[in-house]
Amino acid sequence: MAKVVVTPGMFSEREYKASWKTPIVTGLFALLILIDFGLFGKNSNVNFQLSVKGDAIMLPNAVANSETINLILGITMLAIAGVSVLFTLGNKKTPVWLVLVYGLLGAVALLAWLAAGAVVPTGFILGQAVALAVPIILGALGGVMSERVGVVNIAIEGQLLTGAFMAAVVGTLTHNLWVGMLVAMLTSALLSMALASLAVKYLVDQIIIGVLINALVIGITNFLYSEWLAGSGSDANFPGTFPIVKLPFLSDIPVIGPALFEARVTVYLTYLLVPLVWFLLFRTKLGLRARSVGEHPMAADTVGINVARTRFWWVTSGGAIAGLGGAALTIGNVGAFGREMSGGLGFIALAVVILGRWQPFYVAASALLFGFAIILRIWANQVSPGIPTDFITMIPYLVTLIAVAGFAGKVRAPAASGQPYIKG
Amino acid sequence: MSNVVKPEANESRSETLLREIMSGTPLRIGLSALLAFMFGAIFMAAFNQDVVDSYATFGSDPMLTFQTAWDTIVNGYTSLLTGSIFNPNGGDAVSMFRPITETLRLSAPLILAGLGVSLGFRVGLFNVGGTGQILMSLLGVTWVSTRMTMPWGIHLIVALIVGVVLAAAWGGLVGLLKAKTGAHEVIVTIMLNYVALYLYTWFLREPSLLLEHGGGGTPKSDPPAVTAQMPLLLGPSFDLHIGILIAIAAIFVYWWLMERSAIGFRFKMVGANSHAARAAGIKIESTYIWALAISAAFVGLAGVNQGLGQAGGLTASVNGNIGFDAITVALLGGSRARGVMFAGLLFGAFKAGGPSMQLAGVSPEILGVVQALLVLFVAAPPLVRAIFRLPKKEAN
Phi, psi for residue A212 in degrees, rounded to 5 = -70, -35
d(CA A135, nearest CA chain B) in Å: 19
Mutate to test the interface with A, among B48, B374, B376 (most CBs of A within 10 A): B376
A386, part of any domain: no
- B219 phi-psi bin (left φ>0, alpha ψ -120 to 50, beta other): beta
A154, part of any domain: yes
B92, part of any domain: no
Same domain flag for B305 and B381? no
Concatenated DSSP letters of A250-275: GGGSTTHHHHHHEE-HHHHHHHHHHH
- Mean pLDDT of all residues belonging to chain B: 88
pLDDT for position B256? 96
Same domain flag for B205 and B60? no
A139, part of any domain: yes
Q: Domain total for chain A?
A: 1
pLDDT at A1 over 60: no
Q: Please check whether residue B39 touches A, CB under 8 A.
A: no
d(CA B347, nearest CA chain A) in Å: 14
Section B200-209 average pLDDT: 89
Instruction: Please indicate whether, in this complex, the C-beta atoms of B43 and A223 are within 8 angstroms of each other.
Output: yes
pLDDT at A281 over 60: yes
pLDDT at A172 over 60: yes
**Minimal CA–CA distance to A399: which of A24, A19, A25?**
A25
Q: Please check whether residue A117 touches B, CB under 8 A.
A: no
For position B338, which CATH number holds? 1.10.3470
Q: Which of residues 55-114 of B touch A (CB under 8 A)?
A: none
CA distance A335 to A356: 29
Question: Taking CB atoms and an 8 Å cutoff, what residues of chain A touch B47?
Answer: 223-224, 227-228, 233
Section B27-38 average pLDDT: 89
pLDDT at A386 over 70: no
Question: Taking CB atoms and an 8 Å cutoff, what residues of chain B touch A344?
Answer: 194
Section B152-165 average pLDDT: 95
pLDDT for position A326? 95
B7, part of any domain: no
Same domain flag for B130 and B157? yes
Domain that holds residue A199: 132-357
Same domain flag for B369 and B223? no
pLDDT at B171 over 90: yes
A59, part of any domain: no
- pLDDT-derived band at A411 (thresholds 50, 70, 90) equals very low
Q: Domain total for chain B?
A: 2
CA distance A236 to A221: 14
pLDDT at A10 over 60: no
Same domain flag for B329 and B396? no
Burial B337-359 (b: 16+ CB within 10 A, else e): bebbbbbbbbbbbbbbbbebbee
A245, part of any domain: yes
CA distance A415 to A403: 17
Beta carbons of A177 and A122 less than 8 angstroms apart: no
B377, part of any domain: yes
Same domain flag for B23 and B144? no
d(CA A392, nearest CA chain B) in Å: 9
B80, part of any domain: no
**Minimal CA–CA distance to A351: which of A130, A85, A221, A157?**
A157
3-class DSSP state of A334: helix
Q: Please check whether residue B177 touches A, CB under 8 A.
A: yes
Same domain flag for B311 and B373? no
- pLDDT-derived band at B20 (thresholds 50, 70, 90) equals low
Same domain flag for B188 and B313? yes
Residues 6+ apart with CB under 8 A from B26: none
Mutate to test the interface with B, among A20, A24, A197, A227 (most CBs of B within 10 A): A227
Domain that holds residue B181: 106-359
**pLDDT tens track for B347-371:** 999 999 999 999 988 889 999 999 9
d(CA B279, nearest CA chain A) in Å: 22
**pLDDT tens track for B248-307:** 999 999 999 999 999 999 999 998 888 899 999 999 999 999 999 999 999 999 999 999
Q: Pick the range with the lowest mean pLDDT from B303-307, B338-342, B379-383.
A: B379-383
- Mean pLDDT of all residues belonging to chain A: 85
Same domain flag for B170 and B305? yes
Same domain flag for B136 and B178? yes
What ipTM, to 2 d.p.? 0.88
pLDDT at A13 over 60: no
Q: Which of residues 351-380 of B touch A (CB under 8 A)?
A: 362-363, 365-373, 375-376, 379-380
Instruction: Please indicate whether, in this complex, the C-beta atoms of B187 and A351 are within 8 angstroms of each other.
Output: yes
- pLDDT-derived band at A408 (thresholds 50, 70, 90) equals very low
Same domain flag for B70 and B207? no
B291, part of any domain: yes
**pLDDT tens track for B292-326:** 999 999 999 999 999 999 888 899 888 888 999 99
Same domain flag for B289 and B159? yes
**pLDDT tens track for A32-65:** 888 888 788 777 778 787 777 667 677 777 787 8
Count of CB pairs separated by less than 8 Å, A with B? 136
Higher pLDDT, A355 or B140: B140
3-class DSSP state of A64: strand
3-class DSSP state of A411: coil
